[in-house]
Amino acid sequence: MSTSDRDDMTTVVMACEEFMASTGVAPERLRELLALGWLESRTEGTDQFFRDADIYRVRKLERICCDFELPVVGGTIIVDLLERIDALEHKVRELQGLED
């Protein structure tokens, strides 16, 4: 999902601890995702905040990495590709609707 697509979503911002509890992601993994630039946070003072829209993405990433014993980088590529496929399928359905 491109950054502009994610920015267009209505999101609720949550604190780091709540985000980790909602996703089950370990602090080390969260730092790794932030370092890769795959996940973004907003910093206010010493606090980090995350979008609730990223909960599903991180859960999917964790599932894929665990199920297929993949490193994080491989999992992020797969999640990104799955999101692109979903977007393309949505576009195809829209275009098919125009033909009817």
Among 2.40.320.10, 1.10.3720.10, 2.40.240.20, 1.10.1660.10, name the CATH number for the domain at 3-99: 1.10.1660.10
Q: Burial code of 64-92, b = ≥16 C-beta within 10 A, e = fewer?
A: bbeeeeeebeebbebbeeebeeeeeeeee
- The answer to whether 16 and 48 have CB atoms below 8 angstroms apart is yes
Average pLDDT, rounded, for the chain: 91
State pTM to two decimals.
0.82
d(CA 67, CA 48): 29
pLDDT tens digits for 22-63? Answer: 999 999 999 999 999 999 999 999 999 999 999 999 999 999
